Amino acid sequence: MSDTIERLKTLIIGSGPAGYTAAIYAARADLKPVMYTGMEPGGQLTTTTEVDNFPGYPDGVDGPTMMVQLQQQAERFGTDVRIGMVTACELSTEVGGIHKVTVDNGAIIEAETIIISTGATAKYLGIPSEQKLRGGGVSACAVCDGFFYKNQDVAIVGAGDTAAEEASYLANICNKVTMLVRKDHMRASKAMQHRVHSLKNIEVKYNTEVDEVLGEQVVEGLRMTNNETGIKEDIEITGLFIAIGHKPNTDIFRGQLDMDETGYLITKGKSTKTNLPGVFASGDAQDKEYRQAVTAAGTGCMAALDAERYLASIGSVAEAIADNYSI
């Protein structure tokens, strides 16, 4: 345990579009932000080969390059970007209180404001061939990557509303969509099931699981197994989309910050304010609806503005109290 405690105006936990955008705005507001990137600097986009839908990149950009550029922009305004993992926190419940976090089970940081941008982790099947081809045709975001498979045959794994919605999205741009459902029924709402079944180029295969993703450098096919009969079947596809959910990276805040049943942080109204003063949440840690780089960046901007206004408000109160004592 470090004997030195560092005091900050603004601490940003996590990187990615939300964290770096928050850093840019916070640094320009002279909040002197310090960012701890977490174990995956740059977040989920570092595993994305092409980002084609972020404004300002007419020719597209690969995810790692985009994250490097965002980091450079944040650092240009004075953000202190540090590699490290926040492993514990003690958040104040008082307005103007000081929040304490532990980094890598050692250094203690005290901060007047905290911006959480820890993101969420897509759930994958965990089979070796799937992991090998992530970024080579295996994706966890149809809206992000579906465009690259226009007029091609693809498959999607999942049975909930998100899977049904993404299957419908893919059906509008792809030649054929094969939907793999592990059980004999879908978990999606009846309305979403009706939408899936109404689209002629979606084939739903029930009691079906992925046995192996075929291909060396890119996805070339899929080997499926019927979990009732044990019969295997191969199909030719160029893209495999996994839609079995995300897990927000918010465990260290459990018991202190309000979150829903799956761990997404709850923010107040249209703001990024959590239930504790001086603590703000942005990006996929609090957004389970959109989960896009551009929306994450937007909430990062909001969080920095909210933090700036919070610090200004407690500063005004402190000045007023000081003025009263001086009378």
pLDDT digits (tens, 9 = 90+) for 62-73: 888 999 999 999
Specify the CATH number of the domain 124-242: 3.50.50.60
State the pLDDT at residue 60.
87
The residue ranges of every structural domain in the chain are 5-121+246-326, 124-242
| Range 88-122 burial, b when 16+ CB lie within 10 A, else e | ebebbeeeeeebbbbbeeebbbebbbbbbbbbbbb
- Are 5-121+246-326 and 124-242 equal in CATH topology? yes
The CATH class for the domain spanning 5-121+246-326 reads alpha beta
Enumerate the active-site residues. 141, 144-145
Phi-psi region of 203 (alpha: psi -120 to 50; beta: other; left: phi over 0): beta
State the pLDDT at residue 64.
87
* Cα distance between residue 56 and residue 73, in whole Å: 14
Ranges under pLDDT 50 in the chain: 1, 327
Q: What is the per-residue pLDDT across 177-221, written as a single tens digit (0 to 9) for each?
A: 999 999 999 999 999 999 999 999 999 999 999 999 999 999 999
Query: pTM here?
Result: 0.79
Q: For 143, phi and psi rounded to 5 degrees?
A: -65, -35
State the pLDDT at residue 224.
97
* Cα distance between residue 7 and residue 176, in whole Å: 56
State the pLDDT at residue 183.
95
